[in-house]
Amino acid sequence: MAYPQNYRYTREHEWIEVDGKTGKIGITDYAQNSLGDIVFVESPKVGAAVKKGEVFGSVESVKAVSDLYSPITGTVIEVNEELASAPEKINTDAHASWIMKVELSDPSEVDSLLNAEDYEKFVAEETGS
Amino acid sequence: MATTTNRFVGTTRKVTAHLTQNEPLSFEKSAPGKKGYKLAPLDVPEVDPAALLGAAAREDKPGLPELSEIEIIRHFTRLSTWNYAIDLGMYPLGSCTMKYNPRVNEFVSRLEGIAEAHPYQPERLSRGAMVIIKLLKDCLMEITGMDAIALHPAAGAHGEFTGMLMTRAYHQSKGNPRKNVIIPDSAHGTNPATAASVGYQVVNLKSNAQGGVDVEALAKIVNEDTAALMLTNPSTIGVFESEIHKIADVLHDKGALLYMDGANMNALVGKTRPGDFGVDVMHLNLHKTFSTPHGGGGPGCGPVACKQFLEPFLPIPFVTLGEDGLLHWSSDRPHSIGRVRAFYGNFGMFVRALAYILANGPDGLRQTTEDAVLNANYIRKNLEDVYELPYDTPSMHEVVFSDKRQVKNGIKTGDIAKRLIDYGFHPYTTSFPLIVPGALMIEPTESESREELDLFIDAMRQIAREAEENPEVVISAPHSTRISRLDETMAARKPVLRWKGPPADAVEVDTAAKEW
Amino acid sequence: MRYLPKSDAERAAMLREIGVSSIDDLFTAIPEEYRLTRDLKVPRQMGESEIIDYFKAAAEKNAQAYTSFLGAGAYRHYRPVIIDSLVQRGEFLTSYTPYQAEITQGTLQAIFEFQTMICELTGMDIANASMYDGSTGAAEAVMMAVRVTGRDGVLVAKTVHPEYREVMHTYAQHQGHEAREVAYYPDGHAQAGRIDLEALEQAVNEETACVLVQSPNFFGVVEDIPVIAEIAHKKGALLIVSIAEAVSLGIVRPPVEADIVSMEAQSFGVALSYGGPYCGVLAAKEKYLRQMPGRLVGETKDRDGRRGFVLTLSTREQHIRREKATSNICTNQALVALMATIFMTVYGKEGIKELAVQNLAKAKYAADRLGAHDKLLFGQSPRFHEFVLQTEEPPKRLNARLMEKKIIGGLDLCKWYPELGSATLWCATELTTKEQIDAAVAIVAEISVASAAR
């Protein structure tokens, strides 16, 4: 699987695409594959504060719920409305389906996240492949 | 389903295909003017609802169907034939205890004086009901080895809620309500849900290598912040916690309580008693151990039993013997957690459970438990060469296998379960407990004859062979049902939770709380 | 023992096959000190005829062939015979929760019909597959409103069933949302017996999660739902309407302005059975779907495009969410909900109205006749089939005199509403005959005549 080079990743399988002081956040292809058919995405409200490492929402499949952990600290400036009626977009293209846009309060936090290569290695270890 | 090659397809012995009737929704057969009822003529003056109720009068008629009696009988009879049931055969569901639902229970619960008793009718006209309640309480206390009991909770989860509220009230009375509840990772989902609803944090306890409580690990995390350990014994693996006295001691040393989820009492009745081995408070499931019918999902009944020191916290009201030698209702329990429901509980289920106890007597109850454990071990013995046993500890009334040997062919527990349907059985419990990946949780109960057990074993063995030699037939199962596997993803993404016919008079409401 | 399908020979053979010499070898995991070595002290095993005799004797010690004017959250309505014919079919009675949809379409389709009919009756968009009863349903509705709004203020009308209020209090402990009670207008007021709207308006604020009223309320009075809804919604609070008498929906307008409806469906073909099992149900507006507790049945298709039904949105429930679930509820009241489903199908669109109107008529006749001798409270306000009578004679004595003639009179209200003085709550349904009402009136009148003559 090719993980976008310009994204950064967490060990909880979220990705972030940083653009200056804002970032788009979603879940990786590995995550959507493990979850199976996604039926619902619980997103935060615009204006909500998110903290690095803390839960900001969740993703549901028919038989499971997965908490989503924020890669960085900041404020939610936009939420992907499309996912409310078509959560399956995450299954079809996880890396293009952002869940929330955040204004970063501390851009340096991104430095401690995994890059594409390290994330791919991490996934390989997890799956034992 | 049949393949054109010579690949193995099992022979079903318990079932054969058979025509069943189709039947649409009642609304789809409805036609204006069809009637299924006739009221006696009004013997008092007619009234004008608009005049009596004014703006509160209903202007439309609710969109209920209009059908004649024969259509209604056919409708529900046809629907019923689409269901599997205990009356048709074994349910190997783990921790559900799908035993025979005796018919005399149904008969006695419908006796006029019992079925028509209003909960608020005067005590002197309710002595029969109170006698039933008292005898059931006495029997259940004896069976559990507890000192006090309340029958109010409507289900196991309701009983857990009640028991944990009592636990909290007890700790509060000692000056420290405490902060968390320890729950093994093998526990049923209602346990953590209940703990949270009572304001406790859940602390997960990892099971040891035998799938039981790791007493050393437990001792490390129990402290003065621990309110209780919620334990199922035997565990959801079907194994009795042999160190139960150590577990109880570890908790009691720090003033914490031992709560027992009584879902697996079918392994214990007449052979041992939770009150004797250190349990402080527990609930029972009358719809499991005591034969009250599952009815498609309920009603149940989840009495809460406890030791003397917790009695002051039990819910109200309670039946007590007065000085006049008669039974009375009393709410004289100043430290009670209060009412957990209106009226007295699922009285209809009390009647059924008591009838079951009377039908058995002490010898029947003990024999029942012994047969339940015998049956589970018989299945274990006859399947352990084809299915993986994750733990080699002795099983009591249920046995847990895993799909480890079948997974290499891409076959999971859920697939085997669906294929079991083609052999005429209801599936066992899949994917639970969570500590066994790919679990097959099997509890036959005492109600299964050797013939039925042999048919089940035969089916499971044939499926194991299909999994080896012809995985496709298992993965795409069931093949023989009215409908094939349903699209649960669509059901969750675009929920359709009611039938919608032609638009009725829509009522526009502009005062709805829009923010939410 | 006749429920156990094994002979001793079979047991012995099975033990041999397992490789143990006696059944006790399978119980060795139980520490010896805890093994019972005696019989349980329960009554000896009885034959079936003895069991029936036992319960018949108990049934005879309960009221038999009494006329009853009791209501107060449990109602005596006619139960069509086909209800028991159908629910006693083994495929319904002894079936399990429909987790395996392919072999439980009977249960699932029936629940789907139940959910639909509850929506039609209540004016809500969605309904669940049942809760334990009306009292716990109300408590869960409050918890739902608290989750939805994120607020913790709860207002409950004093005219909600007293035991329901007690249950809500028990549930609210440790959840941080104790309810405040709102008074009702006293007798004599234009809206006597209804919630005090001024008091309500004063009490609702931006911290209020919900306002909970019962309609018809405990006094039998129908509340003015649109006005109450406006007061609640103005401050962003949800309106929960609790309905204890489901039959009222045949003639009383549904609470369409409510956000959540918590109903007790016992009146729909469920026996009184000394208080349970009954049938709670929650219904709500579509937008609250994900916060709804309890099971939900949804329509879908199978692989071949055939319509089928399945339990859905399970991620709300305890077996998946565990400590974050909307409720800990697992077992519900499925078979009792099936009774209600059959009842609603039997009466249907026309019948439910006819039935409700008969109830209205019977109670009006009873209230008029009894009110001629004693004081009918809250008479100015619309009511369904219950009413409050204030008598000079203390209720204890009045009811004792009625009992001599095998009549159970109205429920004494003194322990819950002492401010009403000598007051009793009376209920008349389609089963109450004119004869029975006249007989009760005659006895009640005896003492009134005697005291009037003084």
Q: By the CB < 8 Å criterion, does A60 face chain C?
A: yes
Beta pairing class for B257-261 and B226-232: parallel
Helix, strand or coil, per DSSP, at residue A69: strand
Mean pLDDT of A53-63: 91
Greatest pairwise CA separation for chain A in angstroms: 41
Which tens digits make up the pLDDT trace of B104-126?
999 999 999 999 999 999 999 99
- Contact across the interface for B492 and A88, Cβ inside 8 Å: no
Which tens digits make up the pLDDT trace of B156-166?
999 999 999 99
Residues of B in contact with A37 (CB under 8 A): 489, 493
Q: What is the sign, positive or negative, of the torsion defined by CA atoms of B328, B331, B334, B338?
A: positive
Beta pairing class for B399-402 and B226-232: unpaired
Mean pLDDT of B499-515: 55
Q: By the CB < 8 Å criterion, does A62 face chain C?
A: yes
- Contact across the interface for A65 and C315, Cβ inside 8 Å: yes
Of the candidates B310, B316, B262, the residue with the CA atom closest to the CA atom of residue B290? B262
- Closest partner residue to A63 (CB to CB) among C290, C314, C324 is C314
Mean pLDDT of B320-339: 96
A39: closest chain C residue by CA: C313
Residue C448 is predicted with a pLDDT of: 55
Residue B442 has phi, psi (to 5 degrees) of: -120, 120
Whether residue B509 has pLDDT greater than 50:
no
- Contact across the interface for B492 and A62, Cβ inside 8 Å: yes
Mean pLDDT of B266-286: 97
Least Cα separation, residue B490 to chain A (angstroms): 8
ipTM above 0.90 for this complex: yes
Task: Name the residue type at position C227.
Answer: V
Residue B5 is predicted with a pLDDT of: 66
Residue B514 is predicted with a pLDDT of: 40
C325: closest chain A residue by CA: A65
List the single best residue of A41, A60, A63 to mutate versus C (max C Cβ within 10 A): A60
Q: How far apart are CA B232 and CA A22, in angstroms?
A: 49
Which three-class secondary structure string do you get for B144-175?
Answer: HCCCEEECCCCCHHHHHHHHHHHHHHHHHHCC
Residue C168 is predicted with a pLDDT of: 96
Residues of B in contact with A40 (CB under 8 A): 492-493
- Contact across the interface for C135 and B342, Cβ inside 8 Å: yes
Task: Give every CB contact of residue B416 below 8 A, 6+ residues apart in sequence.
Answer: B403, B406, B440, B460, B463, B467, B474
Residue B181 is predicted with a pLDDT of: 97
Q: How far apart are CA C343 and CA C351, in angstroms?
A: 10
Residue with tokens 């003033």: B255
List the single best residue of A32, A40, A58, A62 to mutate versus B (max B Cβ within 10 A): A62
Residues of C in contact with B135 (CB under 8 A): 43
Least Cα separation, residue C373 to chain B (angstroms): 19
Least Cα separation, residue A37 to chain B (angstroms): 6
Complete DSSP assignment for C301-357: EBTTS-EEEEE--GGGSHHHHGGGSS----S--HHHHHHHHHHHHHHHHHHHHHHHH
- Contact across the interface for C314 and A65, Cβ inside 8 Å: no
Confidence of residue B210 (pLDDT cuts 50, 70, 90): confident
% chain B with pLDDT above 90: 88
Mean pLDDT of B25-44: 96
User: Please, what is the average pLDDT of chain B?
Assistant: 94
Least Cα separation, residue C134 to chain A (angstroms): 30
Q: By the CB < 8 Å criterion, does C298 face chain A?
A: no
- Closest partner residue to C251 (CB to CB) among B53, B370, B448 is B53
Mean pLDDT of A29-45: 92
% chain C with pLDDT above 90: 89
List the single best residue of A34, A35, A37, A83 to mutate versus B (max B Cβ within 10 A): A37
Q: By the CB < 8 Å criterion, does C320 face chain A?
A: yes
Task: Give every CB contact of residue B476 below 8 A, 6+ residues apart in sequence.
Answer: none
Q: Which two tokens stand for residue B306?
A: 């406890």
CATH architecture, range A8-106: Beta Barrel (2.40)
Residues of B in contact with C56 (CB under 8 A): 108, 111
Q: By the CB < 8 Å criterion, does C88 face chain A?
A: no
Least Cα separation, residue C100 to chain A (angstroms): 14
Q: Which residues of chain C are modeled with pLDDT < 50?
A: 454
Whether residue B246 has pLDDT greater than 90:
yes
- Contact across the interface for C320 and A40, Cβ inside 8 Å: no
Confidence of residue B508 (pLDDT cuts 50, 70, 90): very low
DSSP, res B334: T
Mean pLDDT of B4-12: 85
Least Cα separation, residue B483 to chain A (angstroms): 19
| Domain spans of chain A, in order of start | 8-106
Q: By the CB < 8 Å criterion, does B96 face chain C?
A: yes
Confidence of residue B49 (pLDDT cuts 50, 70, 90): very high
List the single best residue of C289, C311, C315, C323 to mutate versus A (max A Cβ within 10 A): C315
Residues of C in contact with A61 (CB under 8 A): 315
- Closest partner residue to A63 (CB to CB) among C290, C320, C324 is C320
Residue B510 is predicted with a pLDDT of: 47
Any chains having at least 3 CB pairs less than 8 A from chain A are B, C
Confidence of residue B433 (pLDDT cuts 50, 70, 90): confident
- Contact across the interface for A65 and C320, Cβ inside 8 Å: yes
Residue B33 has phi, psi (to 5 degrees) of: 100, -20
Mean pLDDT of A26-35: 92
Residues of B in contact with A61 (CB under 8 A): 489
Which tens digits make up the pLDDT trace of B439-470?
999 999 999 999 999 999 999 999 999 999 99
Q: By the CB < 8 Å criterion, does B72 face chain C?
A: yes
Confidence of residue B503 (pLDDT cuts 50, 70, 90): low
Residues of C in contact with B35 (CB under 8 A): 348, 350-351
Least Cα separation, residue A25 to chain B (angstroms): 22
Q: Which two tokens stand for residue C89?
A: 């079919």
Residue C400 is predicted with a pLDDT of: 96
Residues of B in contact with A62 (CB under 8 A): 488-489, 492
Confidence of residue B502 (pLDDT cuts 50, 70, 90): low
Residues on B contacting A at a C-beta cutoff of 8 Å? 488-489, 492-493
Q: By the CB < 8 Å criterion, does C290 face chain A?
A: yes
Least Cα separation, residue B494 to chain A (angstroms): 8
Which three-class secondary structure string do you get for B219-255?
Answer: HHHCCCCEEEEEEECCCCCCCCCCCHHHHHHHHHHCC
Of the candidates C317, C313, C150, C148, the residue with the CA atom closest to the CA atom of residue A40? C313
Residue B133 has phi, psi (to 5 degrees) of: -60, -45
Q: How far apart are CA B200 and CA C175, in angstroms?
A: 10
User: Please, what is the average pLDDT of chain C?
Assistant: 95
Q: By the CB < 8 Å criterion, does C11 face chain A?
A: no
CB pairs under 8 A between A and C: 16
Any chains having at least 3 CB pairs less than 8 A from chain B are A, C
Altogether, the residues listed in chain A come to a count of 129
Residues of B in contact with C102 (CB under 8 A): 418, 421, 478, 481-486
User: Please, what is the average pLDDT of chain A?
Assistant: 92
Residue B91 is predicted with a pLDDT of: 96
Any chains having at least 3 CB pairs less than 8 A from chain C are A, B
Residue C267 is predicted with a pLDDT of: 98
